[in-house]
Structure 1
Amino acid sequence: MRVCVIGAGVIGVSSAYFLARQGFDVTLADARERPAEVSSFANGGQLSYSYVAPLAGPGVLPSVPNWLLRADSPLRFRPRLDPHQWRWCLDFALACRAAVARASTAELSTLSYLSRDAMHGLLAQDPIEFGHVRNGKLIAYRDAGLLEKARRLVAYQAAHGAEQSVLSAEETLALEPALGGMRRQLAGAIYTPSEESGDCRLFTEGLFERLKTLPNVTLRMGTNVRGLRRRGADIAAADTDRGEIEADAFVVASGLGSRALLRPLGVNVPLYPLKGYSLSVPLARKDEGPAISVTDYERRIVYARMGKTLRIAAMVDIGSADAAIDPRRIDLLKRQVAEVFPRLDLDAATAWAGLRPATPGSKPIIGASRAARNLWLNLGQGALGFTLACGSAALLTAQMAGVPTPIDAAPFLPG
C-alpha cells in the first residue's frame, strides 16, 4: 500500500518511519526543506513518560484569574474575535473537571508508556545521537499545599504504572544540589527516576536520515501540500505546488497546518496554538545546571540537559497570532531562571518561540477520519509531542495495518 504522510515534524517523521518499517511504501511531504523546522525545533526536551497529566485539570481554572492579573504569569490570554478560540476555551474549561482529568491522565499514560517502549525499541534497532539521557525528573514545588495535592496524584498514577516518590526539601537538594537557588522557597519535589530527555530536533533529523536509507520511502521536502483531492468516498491525491502526490492512503500529521488542510473536507479538528518559549544555554561546566531534568511547578518552567546544552522551556500564550519572539517574555524567563540557577550564562542563550498544536483535553487525535475512507490523522500532541511521538506512530501504524493495536485506540480516535 502506498501512503502519503503530510508533515515532517517529530510526529510526521515518526509516523513515516513506523509505517515504512511495517512495509508500507511511504511518501513524506513537507513545505520546508528540512524536518523539524517548526514546533519540533527547540521545545522542552523532556521525555516525560510517567507524568502526562493533561493541561486541563481541576486546579487550573481557579488559578486563571490570578495568572491573568500578574505580569510574571506563566499563562497569558489574548482574546480575539475568533469563534474557534472561544469554542476551544469552553471545551478546555469542561475538560478541567476532576473526573475528566483523571480519565485523560489514565488514557494518556497508556500512550506514553507505549511511546517509551517504542522509542527504546527504535533506538535498539537504529541508534540515533540526540543527547538522549535517562537522568530522571524532579517536579519542584514551592507551596506545601500543592505538594500535598501532588502526593495524591502520585498515588493515582502509581496505579497506572508510574514509579514516583515524594521528597522533602532536604532530600530534593541532596539529590540535585544545583537547586540551591530555591532553598528558601522549596517545599519538596516529586521524583521520577525513570524519566528521560533529549533534543527533539536532533532526534527527528536522525530519524529522517534513516528514512533516506529505506528503499520504500520517497521524500518530497520543499513541497507545499495545498489541498486533498477527493474521488468519491476516497482521497485520490494531495495537491501540491510541485504536482500531485497519488497514494492509497493519506496521513495528515502537519500540526496546526492540518486545520486549513482538513477544513475543505468538512473536518474541523479542535486544535489551537499554545505559544511557548525556550532558551538553549551552552554549558561550560557540569555544575552550571541541573543534572536531573527539573520542572519548576509554580512557574511552569522545565529544564532538560541535552549533552552540553541546557534547554529551558516555559509559558503558555493563548491567542498569539504567530511564533514571533516576544522580548518581554524572554526577559521575564531569564530573570526567573537566574533566581534558581545564577551560574548559568544566560547572555549566551539562544531564544526560540513555537506554537504547540493542542486539543482542549490534551489527548491527541490518532486514527481514521470520517471524512474519507483512506484518510488518517495523527494530530494534537501539544506540549507532549516529543514524549508521545513514537507511541502515536506505533498506534497509527497498527490501525492502518489492520493488526491488533498495542493499546486501546478508542480514547484517541477522531470524533
Structure 2
Amino acid sequence: MHVCIIGAGVIGMSTAFMLRQKGVKVTVLEAGSQVAGQTSFANGGQLSYSYVAPLADPGVFKDLPRWLLKNDSPLRFKPALSPQQWRWLLHFLKACRGDVVRRTTAQMLTLSYLSRDILHDWQERFNLEFAHQNNGKLIVFRSPGPFQHAREQAQLQADMGSSQQVLEAAQVLELEPSLQTLGSRLQGAIYTPSEEAGDAYLFSVALHERMQNDRDYQLKLNTPVQRFVREGRDIRAVQTAEGEIQADQFVVASGMGTVPLLRQLGGRPLIYPLKGYSLSLPLEGLNQAVPAISVTDYEQRIVYARLGEVLRMAAMVDIGFDGLDIPADRMATLKQQVKDLFPALPLEQAQTWAGLRPATPSGKPIVGASTLAGRLWVNAGHGALGFTLACGSAAILAAHLTGEASPIDDAPFRP
C-alpha cells in the first residue's frame, strides 16, 4: 500500500513514521521549504499529557468580557465577515458546558496517554534527539478563583487516572525558586511531575532523518497540493505543479491548510486558526534564574519550557488574525509580561515567532476516514496540543489504514 500524506508538520511526520513502522510506503508532500516550518516550528514545547482540559470551559463566560476590553489580554478577538468564524464561535460556546468539558477531558486523556506511551517507545528504540526534558510542569495561579477551579479540575482528572499535586505558595517556591518574583501574588500551583517538554520542530526533523534513507519513504518539499483528482467517489491522485501524484490512500494533515483542501470536496471542517506567539531565548552564558520545571502562568496564559539550551516562552490566543505577521504591540505585551516574572532576561536576544494553531471548537482533533470521498483521511485540528497528541493520532490512523483495531476508542475523534 502507498499512502500520500499532505503536510510535513509534527502531525504529518508522526503519521508517516508510524506507517513506515507498519511497512507502508509513504510519500509526504509539504507546501513549504522545510519540515515542520510553520505551526510546529516554535510552539510552546510542553508535552501536556495530563493537562488536556479544553480551551472551551464554563469559566470563559466570566473571563471573556474582561479579556475583550484589555489591550494586553491573553485573548484578542477581531470580528470578521466570515461564516467560518461565527460557526466556529457558536460551536465553541456550546462546548463551554461542564458536562461537555468533563467528557472531552476524559476522551483527550485517553488519546494523550496513548501518545505518551508511543513517544517513549520511539525514544527508546530510535534514540530520537529533540531537546526532550522529563522535568514536570507547574500551572501557577495568581488569583484564588482560578486556583480553586484548578483544584476541582485536578480532582476530576485524578478520577480519570491523572496524577497531579495541589501546591500552596510556599511549596511552589521550594520546588521552583525562580518564581520568587511573584511574591504575595502567588496563590499556588498544580504540579504534574510526569509532564515533559520537547522541541516539535526537532522531533519532526528527527523522524525525517530516521526515514530519509528508506526507499519506501519520500519527502517532497515546496509541493503544494492544488486539487484532488477523483475517480467516481474515490480520490485517485493529487494535482501539484509537478503533475499528478497517485497513491492508494491520502491523508490530509496540513494544519490550517486542511480547510481549503476539504472545501474543494464540499466539506466545511470546523477548524479555525488561533494565532499565538513565542520567544526563544538562548540560555548559554545566562546567569538569570530561569525555571528548571516547565511553567504555565495561568492568568497571563504564558508557558515557559526549557528545551535544551533554549527557553521557549509562548502565549496568547488571537481570533480573527489569520496572517503570520508579528504585531509590534502583541510582542511588546508578551515581553513586558515575561519581564514581570523574569526581569533580567535579555529578551532583545530572543527569536520571535507567530503561528496558527488549527483548533476545533471542542479542542478534540479530527482523526479518521473522511466522509467526503473514498480513500481520504484526516488528521488535523489539534490546536495547542499538536505535539502532545501527534503520536497517538498517528497510531489511530495507521491502525485503520492497515486494517487493525484502533488502540483506543477513537469514535470521539472521527470526522
The question of a shared fold, defined as TM-score above 0.5 by the shorter chain, is answered with: yes
2:123 and 2:288 map into 1 onto residues whose CA distance is 29
Aligned residue in 1 for 2:313: 312
Which ranges of structure 2 fall in alignment gaps of 5 or more residues? Answer: none
Superposed, 1:8-407 pairs within 5 Å as 8-283=8-283, 284-285=285-286, 288-407=289-408
1:134 and 1:412 map into 2 onto residues whose CA distance is 28
- For residue 321 of structure 1, report the CA deviation from its aligned partner: 2.9
1:287 and 1:308 map into 2 onto residues whose CA distance is 13
- For residue 23 of structure 1, report the CA deviation from its aligned partner: 1.1
1:303-346 deviation digits (Å, cap 9, x = unpaired): 00011110000000000030110111111111111111112111
1:30-64 deviation digits (Å, cap 9, x = unpaired): 11221011100100000000000011011112210
1:65-93 deviation digits (Å, cap 9, x = unpaired): 11000121000000001111011000000
- Letter of the aligned partner of 1:259 in structure 2? V
Which range is displaced more, 238-247 or 340-349?
A: 340-349
2:317 aligned counterpart, secondary structure? strand
- Letter of the aligned partner of 1:232 in structure 2? G
2:50 and 2:166 map into 1 onto residues whose CA distance is 14
1:288 aligned counterpart, secondary structure? coil
1:215 and 1:118 map into 2 onto residues whose CA distance is 24
Which ranges of structure 1 fall in alignment gaps of 5 or more residues? Answer: none
- For residue 288 of structure 1, report the CA deviation from its aligned partner: 2.7
1:267-290 deviation digits (Å, cap 9, x = unpaired): 111110000000001113475310
Runs of 4+ in 1 over 2 A off after TM superposition: 284-288
How does the TM-score come out when normalised to structure 2? Answer: 0.98
1:183 aligned counterpart, secondary structure? helix
- For residue 215 of structure 1, report the CA deviation from its aligned partner: 2.5
1:33 and 1:333 map into 2 onto residues whose CA distance is 28
- Letter of the aligned partner of 2:212 in structure 1? K
- Letter of the aligned partner of 1:331 in structure 2? A
For the aligned residue pairs, the C-alpha RMSD in angstroms reads 1.0
- For residue 404 of structure 1, report the CA deviation from its aligned partner: 1.3
2:87 aligned counterpart, secondary structure? helix
Which range is displaced more, 299-308 or 221-230?
A: 221-230
1:204-247 deviation digits (Å, cap 9, x = unpaired): 11111112122311222221111111101210001111111101
1:264 and 1:332 map into 2 onto residues whose CA distance is 39
Residue pair 2:122, 2:128 contacting (<8 A) in 1 also: no
1:369 and 1:249 map into 2 onto residues whose CA distance is 11
- Letter of the aligned partner of 2:273 in structure 1? P
- Letter of the aligned partner of 1:245 in structure 2? I
1:65 and 1:188 map into 2 onto residues whose CA distance is 25
Which range is displaced more, 139-148 or 247-256?
A: 139-148
1:108-133 deviation digits (Å, cap 9, x = unpaired): 00000001001001111111211101
1:213 and 1:134 map into 2 onto residues whose CA distance is 30
- Letter of the aligned partner of 1:180 in structure 2? Q
1:206 and 1:150 map into 2 onto residues whose CA distance is 35
2:139 and 2:192 map into 1 onto residues whose CA distance is 9
2:37 and 2:372 map into 1 onto residues whose CA distance is 29
How does the TM-score come out when normalised to structure 1? Answer: 0.98
1:211 and 1:33 map into 2 onto residues whose CA distance is 18
Identical counterparts, % of pairs: 56
- For residue 147 of structure 1, report the CA deviation from its aligned partner: 1.1
